[in-house]
Structure 1
Amino acid sequence: MLVLAALMLPAPSSAQTAPMAYTANCQMCHQAAGAGIPGQFPRVAGRAGAIAAKPAGRAYLIDVLLNGMAGRMMVDGKPIMGVMPPFARLSDTDIAATLTYVTKLPGGPPRIAPFAAAEIKAARAAPKKSATEMKTVREQLAAQGLIP
C-alpha cells in the first residue's frame, strides 16, 4: 500500500529538483534555492529568469558559465567582490540543465524557454572571454537595464 501511495505522488518539476551539475558546482555559493550569500555571491533566484528574458541576457548567462566572471559589481544595490570560475568543463547538456533550472526558480518571469545543449555548443565555438571581460559585458548589459 505504501508503494502504491508513493507511485501516485506527482513527480517533482525541474524548478523543484536541481540538476546534479547545479548541486555539485553552483549550490555551495548560490545556495540550494538560489538565494546566494549577500555581499559574497549573488542570488540567481528571480534574477536569472529576468536576465534570460532577453536574447542578449540569455547569451550572457551562457557566457558566464563558460567563461566565469571576476571583479566588483553591484547586485540588488549592494557591492559584491568575487570570482566565479568558468564551468566550460561541464557538458553542453549539464550547462543547459543548470541554466534552465536557475531561470525557473521562483521570482522570475514564468515563461522562459528551456536552454538547449545546441545553444551552449554554439556559444562554445565563439572566442573565449576572460573573467574580467565578462564583468565588462555585465556592466554594459546592466547599463541597458538587461541585468537587474
Structure 2
Amino acid sequence: MIRTAFIIAALFAAPAAAADGPALYKRCAACHLPTGAGVPGAYPPLKADVRALAGKAEGRRYLILAVTRGLAGPITVEGKAYRGVMPAQVLKDDEVAAVLNHVVTTVAGGKGAFTADEVAAVRAEGGKLSASAVAALHDAAAR
C-alpha cells in the first residue's frame, strides 16, 4: 500500500525545475557587470569574445572549463590584456549549461545551446587542469 502511494506520488510530482541561467549569472555580474561589459583592466567583457568562442568546439571547451576550473593569468580580450583571477564556480552540469546559455544568448547575443551532457564530458576530460592552464587555452580558442 505504501509503495503504491510512492509510485502515484512520483507520477504526479512536478518535474525538477530547470537551472535558472539569469539567476546564476548574478554571480558573474558581480565582476562582469549585468550587461557583460566587464571592468576595464580588471574583468573582461563577455560579449564579442564569448559569442565567437561559443561558435567553435575549442571555444566551447574553453568556456566550460573557465566556469568549472576557473582562470588565473593573462588572457587577451578585444585587444586588451587581463591578468586577473576568476575562481572556479561550484555548479552542477545543468547549471553550468544554463549560465553559459544565458551569457551566450542574452549577454553576448550569440547562438549555440550548451547541454549538461556537453558540460559533463568537458568537465571529465579537463578535470585536472589548473586555472592557469585554462587561461592559456583562451588565445588559441579565440583564433
Which category describes the TM-score, using the shorter chain as reference length? 0.7 to 0.9
**Match in the other structure for 2:100:** 99
Asked if residue 137 in structure 1 is aligned to residue 137 in structure 2, the reply is yes
**Match in the other structure for 1:11:** none
Partner SS for 1:74 = strand
**Aligned counterparts, 1:115-126, within 5 A:** 115-126=114-125
Structure 1 Cα separation of the partners of residues 112 and 75 of structure 2: 27
Q: Higher helix fraction: Structure 1 or Structure 2?
A: 2
Percent identical among aligned pairs is 37
Would you say the 8 A contact 1:69–1:132 is kept in 2? yes
Structure 2 Cα separation of the partners of residues 96 and 107 of structure 1: 15
**Match in the other structure for 1:13:** none
Would you say the 8 A contact 2:38–2:46 is kept in 1? yes
Structure 1 Cα separation of the partners of residues 123 and 108 of structure 2: 29
Give the alignment partner of residue 67 of structure 1, picking from 42, 45, 69.
69
Give the alignment partner of residue 80 of structure 1, picking from 79, 82, 88.
82
Q: Which of the pair has more CA radius of gyration?
A: 2
Q: Which runs of 4+ in 1 moved over 4 A?
A: none
**CA deviation after TM superposition for structure 1 residue 63, in Å:** 0.9
Tell me the alpha carbon deviations over residues 70-114 of structure 1, each in whole angstroms, 9 at most, x when there is no partner: 112222222212001111x211111101100111136544xx221
Q: How many residues align?
A: 123
Partner SS for 2:30 = helix
Would you say the 8 A contact 1:34–1:105 is kept in 2? no
Structure 1 Cα separation of the partners of residues 88 and 64 of structure 2: 11
Structure 2 Cα separation of the partners of residues 67 and 107 of structure 1: 21
- Structure 2: segments with no counterpart, 5+ residues: 1-19
- Structure 1: segments with no counterpart, 5+ residues: 1-16
Tell me the alpha carbon deviations over residues 4-37 of structure 1, each in whole angstroms, 9 at most, x when there is no partner: xxxxxxxxxxxxx9521111x2010111011111
Change (3 A) 1:113 1:79: closer
Q: How big is the alpha-carbon RMSD for the aligned residues of Structure 1 and Structure 2?
A: 1.8
